[in-house]
A = this chain, B = another copy of it.
């Protein structure tokens, strides 16, 4: 399947032998997934037009402050009016970008089985990301370390309902100018899913790309023609794009890699207090990012994104899984379909511990993303404290929900065999179906098998130690980590990049862009 065979020649032989068993270790059916429900609306078509057109007006009349000179030059060269750092983007430029942005993007992976098609109707999940801290019942809350990052990668790799990688925990024990080396090496070593690269300036981004190329034996051409890396671009709402983010859009576009433009619009703080107002700002900023990507390289893979929610008006703290968050997801989905692009949403939780609040917030926004038919739902497992902590027990409980949602993608059948009139006739009134042929033929695979849920009665549960699902989840993740085996490509991919990383480290690393 893979035709790219240049580079890292020393490992070619091993590579070939491992590709024959290049299947995920855990064989379940949660990938790829297609949305089982029709997208729902909160706005009328007129209202969506109004929001879209107002967003265009924002770009044209109010402009966007773009801190990176190179990005302003790209806009100016395309005919945009630039006044100091303000860029006024005309609707024609946006429309052209929406014409050239691809509606379907193939996300490549070290293991072809892990590849995904990123397009309308696809349903992808990625784990809680960008967390500076980690938390679990055994070791408590702590600043994120490389060990935590690697453990999170192993957890993500172990559940096929998580479809792509994200920077779950920030490995703060690795200096920032060396961090990308370890993050790329760890992804390559412990996973074979579509990868994530932070947009922290060209030096780190281009080195990260090179690491992927080397590890996966990709020629320049092969790399550029496939999406091997994605990044998240957060705008600085309102109406600002900082230097590393603008640079990231340009670098990813030119390298043929995917940036997901995601304004983080908190209604009542950095965005207008209304759902429509926050979405207008989200839409304007996302359109600006998409336009920059298309100006940097026409046809570049780029995704619409939205992570709009509200703040708590008492404390100013961000809130997630609120009714307003859900409404913004639904409106965001309408806007993405309005411009015919796939899009990313996010779930989330403000809760500080893996409790009922955490579960309810996350699942509420998860259903919002489902009802909005988000292509990718980020932070789908493990997010706590509004993203300040990656919670291990929370991750396991969230994966349970994701697996149940994935089960909903398989529709039941309503034919005669499934209905089983004969089984109904076989069983006396008041009897049971345990022993009917209809049951015997199906009982092994009829129902979803829970990951962490305890379905036993109170007595059995008490005898088992009266553990909460948080406590049971602690046992689950420890077992998953203990059982973890590197993917078939892992050892080789990591070995492949070892000398390059050592060389770059010796040369002083690559500081992030300010």
Chain B residues with CB under 8 A of A447: 267-268, 310, 312-313, 319, 322-324
Q: Is A414 in the interface zone, CB < 8 Å from B?
A: yes
Q: Is A272 in the interface zone, CB < 8 Å from B?
A: yes
Docked pose: A389 CA to B429 CA in angstroms: 29
Docked pose: A54 CA to B420 CA in angstroms: 9
Could you tell me if A430 and B38 are in contact, using CB atoms closer than 8 angstroms? no
Docked pose: A47 CA to B415 CA in angstroms: 6
Chain B residues with CB under 8 A of A272: 419-420, 423-424, 433, 436, 438-439
Q: Is A27 in the interface zone, CB < 8 Å from B?
A: no
- Which of B240, B397, B424, B468 makes the CB contact (< 8 A) with A281? B424
Q: A434 CB to closest chain B CB, in angstroms?
A: 7
Could you tell me if A357 and B322 are in contact, using CB atoms closer than 8 angstroms? no
Q: A324 CB to closest chain B CB, in angstroms?
A: 6
- Binary interface encoding of chain A residues 41-82 relative to chain B, with 1 for a CB under 8 A from any of its CBs, else 0: 011101110110010011001101100000000000000000
Tell me the A237-268 residues at the B interface (CB within 8 Å). 238-240, 267-268
Q: A316 CB to closest chain B CB, in angstroms?
A: 8
Could you tell me if A430 and B240 are in contact, using CB atoms closer than 8 angstroms? yes
Q: A372 CB to closest chain B CB, in angstroms?
A: 11
Residue of B nearest to A319 (CB): B455
Tell me the A86-100 residues at the B interface (CB within 8 Å). 86
Docked pose: A444 CA to B313 CA in angstroms: 8
Size of A's binding interface in residues, CB under 8 A: 124
Known: A50-B416, A65-B429, A353-B468. Contact between A280 and B424, CB under 8 A? Answer: yes
- Which of B61, B322, B443, B453 makes the CB contact (< 8 A) with A268? B443
Q: Is A6 in the interface zone, CB < 8 Å from B?
A: no
Q: A338 CB to closest chain B CB, in angstroms?
A: 12
Could you tell me if A412 and B356 are in contact, using CB atoms closer than 8 angstroms? no
Report the copy number of this chain in the oligomer: 2
Q: Is A400 in the interface zone, CB < 8 Å from B?
A: yes
- Binary interface encoding of chain A residues 446-464 relative to chain B, with 1 for a CB under 8 A from any of its CBs, else 0: 1110001111111011100
Docked pose: A312 CA to B317 CA in angstroms: 41
Q: Is A210 in the interface zone, CB < 8 Å from B?
A: no
Could you tell me if B423 and A64 are in contact, using CB atoms closer than 8 angstroms? no
Could you tell me if A446 and B356 are in contact, using CB atoms closer than 8 angstroms? no
Residue of B nearest to A442 (CB): B273
Docked pose: A90 CA to B324 CA in angstroms: 50
Q: A450 CB to closest chain B CB, in angstroms?
A: 8
- Binary interface encoding of chain A residues 390-428 relative to chain B, with 1 for a CB under 8 A from any of its CBs, else 0: 000010010011001101100111111011110111010
Q: Is A233 in the interface zone, CB < 8 Å from B?
A: no
Docked pose: A481 CA to B40 CA in angstroms: 38
Q: Is A344 in the interface zone, CB < 8 Å from B?
A: no
Residue of B nearest to A323 (CB): B407
Could you tell me if B356 and A355 are in contact, using CB atoms closer than 8 angstroms? yes
Q: Is A306 in the interface zone, CB < 8 Å from B?
A: no
Q: Is A388 in the interface zone, CB < 8 Å from B?
A: yes
Could you tell me if A453 and B421 are in contact, using CB atoms closer than 8 angstroms? no
Binding site for B on A (CB under 8 A): 36-38, 40, 42-44, 46-48, 50-51, 54, 57-58, 61-62, 64-65, 86, 141, 236, 238-240, 267-277, 280-281, 310, 312-315, 317, 319, 321-324, 326-327, 331, 350-361, 363-364, 367, 371, 385-386, 388-389, 394, 397, 400-401, 404-405, 407-408, 411-416, 418-421, 423-425, 427, 429-434, 436, 438-439, 442-444, 446-448, 452-458, 460-462, 466, 468-470, 473
Minimum-distance CB pairs A-B, first 3: A47-B414, A323-B407, A65-B429
